[in-house]
Structure 1
Amino acid sequence: MRASTLTAFALALSTLLPLGASAQGNGTLDKVKSSGAMVVAYRESSIPFSYLGGDAQPTGFGWEICGKIVDQVKKATGRADLKVSTQSVTSQNRIPLLVNGTIDIECGSTTNNSDRAKQVAFAINYFYTGTRFLVKSDSPIKALADLKGKKVVSTAGTTNYQVLRKINAEQNLGFDLLAAKDHAESALLVKSGRADAFGMDDILLYGLRASEQNPAEMAVVGEAIQVEPYAIMLRKDDPAFKKLVDDVLAGMMKSGEFEALYKKWFQSPIPPKGINLNAPMSKELRDNLKALSDKPAL
């Protein structure tokens, strides 16, 4: 390589390196501090974690926790004037929008697993759930084996859809697996008779059932196929922001504030219809109030 060519190459490289370093080195807190803005993502129908309330604004268990995280971000960055924007996400676009910087944190019902950890990071696990099925109350479906020859729907982009596809093949169950854009559409397919069962995290199914005009018309059935943790989702390789988020969660779990918030959203009437999920805290979650683990599902 000639000297002139080498010099040109070096100059080009020197202009590229700062961009790469900036993309990797400047974490969420730096981004927020310099821009004075933060984008918090929510789900539209993940009751009671993150959903639209009667005023068409985000609300829920995870949403309230993220509000406390935002308060801490303001303190850590010295931006009391922080402009907080909200962004609706789906199961399919939540990871891409986080990775590309459109959103800064996702407060919903996202499963923390090893595969997703290759792309994103997760805070301390704040819920544990398993895949079960929402059916009409007069349905003959009571267990996994009853799905043979049936139409089963799950929400596209979820771990539940992957699990159902895998178990369908492994156990030769022979059900037709459909994909819906979100949980509300999945439930509607069952209500309208276009699907026989909706496979999803049981707590979300209880929330959808409780929000129906006549909850008795729907039932949650079957043994949980697997138990997985939910966690707030963050960008990967951002230790300062992850520590801030983890510290907020750990503080709430140690002080009893987390348990009080759990009772508010899982064992009390919640908006917009005053439904009560009557969902006691699982052993796995109670254990994690002490362990403070962010361990993913396999």
Structure 2
Amino acid sequence: MHPTHHRSRGTVAALVLGLSAILASGPAGAEELTGTLKKIKDSGAITIGYRDSSVPFSYLDGDQKPVGYAYEICRKIADGVKANLKMDKLEVKLNPVTSATRIPLIANGTIDLECGSTTNNADRQKQAAFTNTHFLTATRYVSKKDKKLDKIEDLKGRTVVSTSGTTNIRQINEANTERKLGLTILPAKDHAEAFLMVETGRADAFVMDDVLLASLMAGSKTPDAYAISTEALSKPEPYGIMLRKDDAPFKAVVDAATAKLYESPEGKALYEKWFTQPIPPRGINLKLPMSEAMQKQFAHPSDSADPAAY
């Protein structure tokens, strides 16, 4: 029996050797990078798209430098990419984006990650991919308290504003048609301009993600003069960092980096920093503790576009 026994052991050893040779060739094989990972490795840089007034996600501080919750998440993703590609240094380039330009700039390769307040939905997934959700919001509206507006019906016949290129302007247009509200709907180039229209009386209400409305209100001259509607125009909507579509290797690295962050105590600390504490440049506090849905999302990160999943 012995000789055969040894022979079979020899075969196993050969198999193990063969297998370790294959595994060892892994990194060499991994040089065959494609898509975004190849672009980053070859250029030595990753480009982050940031927003200028999506407080507290991605906006400019007093020194006109990008800061924010989503912006910090993107910096963490960049660290993850750098480690994955075993690069000694990785240059992080910054490129401003708006609601209207963010998807085209991802699609054409100008930016690699879009860090902001972008809703992950089925429609957008046809044009871009999203990593794990970093926030849940719903569409509501802000108005001056003395107008006593709270429900969607209260807007009948009024002038409302929303930011162009957003899901929100589409939702208010749909509600206007379905509910025969007779609204005048004005598009604004960004959130700051839209809020200013409510402030100056050019619009009765600004339809947007409730969290962005809360930040604009908190940062205004008279926060107590405004109210956010209790009725929402949408179910909970997930925000995700956007990346290019059909680039599975890059998405796997990005997903691993965001999941690791959200599942760790650092993820919760990052949330608290931007939503429950004073933030730059003026020390406003959004006072939005983590919801139960958000706690669940961080415990089990998901990139689902389906509001029912949260």
Match of 1:74 among 82, 102, 105: 82
Counterpart CA distance in 2 for 1:264 and 1:110 is 20
1:34-49 matches, within 5 Å, as 34-49=42-57
Scaled by the length of structure 2, the TM-score of the pair is 0.86
Cα deviation digits, residues 65-105 of structure 1 (max 9, x gap): 11111112222223333222111111111000100011110
Matched, 1:283 2:292: yes
Counterpart CA distance in 2 for 1:264 and 1:119 is 32
Counterpart CA distance in 1 for 2:74 and 2:121 is 20
Counterpart CA distance in 2 for 1:82 and 1:255 is 24
Matched, 1:179 2:187: yes
1:200 is aligned to 208
Matched, 1:63 2:71: yes
Match of 1:294 among 283, 303, 307: 303
Query: How far off its partner does 1:182 sit?
Result: 0.7
Matched, 1:267 2:276: yes
Preserved CA contact (<8 Å) 1:91 1:158: yes
Counterpart of 1:128 in 2: which secondary structure? strand
Match of 2:254 among 232, 245, 249: 245
Query: How far off its partner does 1:164 sit?
Result: 0.8
Per mean C-alpha deviation after superposition, the further-off stretch among 180-189 and 136-145 is 136-145
Counterpart of 1:115 in 2: which secondary structure? helix
Counterpart CA distance in 1 for 2:102 and 2:109 is 11
Corresponding letter in the other structure for 2:242:
M
2:151 is aligned to 143
1:16 is aligned to none
Cα deviation digits, residues 12-56 of structure 1 (max 9, x gap): xxxxxxxxxxxxx83111101001122101010101010001111
* Structural RMSD (CA): 1.3
Where has structure 1 moved over 6 Å in runs of 4 or more? none
Preserved CA contact (<8 Å) 2:162 2:186: yes
Query: How far off its partner does 1:296 sit?
Result: 0.3
Preserved CA contact (<8 Å) 1:144 1:222: no
1:236 is aligned to 245
Per mean C-alpha deviation after superposition, the further-off stretch among 25-34 and 183-192 is 25-34
Corresponding letter in the other structure for 2:200:
S
Percent of pairs identical after alignment? 51
Per mean C-alpha deviation after superposition, the further-off stretch among 169-178 and 197-206 is 169-178
Cα deviation digits, residues 200-242 of structure 1 (max 9, x gap): 0000000111111221222212312212100000000111211
Counterpart CA distance in 1 for 2:281 and 2:306 is 32
Matched, 1:86 2:94: yes
1:100-115 matches, within 5 Å, as 100-115=108-123
Cα deviation digits, residues 89-125 of structure 1 (max 9, x gap): 1111100010001111000000000010011000011
Corresponding letter in the other structure for 1:279:
L
Counterpart CA distance in 1 for 2:201 and 2:36 is 45
Corresponding letter in the other structure for 1:113:
N
Counterpart CA distance in 2 for 1:91 and 1:68 is 23
2:40 is aligned to 32
Query: How far off its partner does 1:255 sit?
Result: 1.6
Counterpart CA distance in 2 for 1:265 and 1:119 is 29
Counterpart of 1:270 in 2: which secondary structure? coil
Segments of 5+ residues of structure 1 without an aligned counterpart are: 1-24
Counterpart CA distance in 1 for 2:136 and 2:249 is 25
Matched, 1:122 2:152: no
Per mean C-alpha deviation after superposition, the further-off stretch among 65-74 and 197-206 is 65-74
Counterpart CA distance in 2 for 1:79 and 1:138 is 57
Higher Rg of the two aligned structures: 2
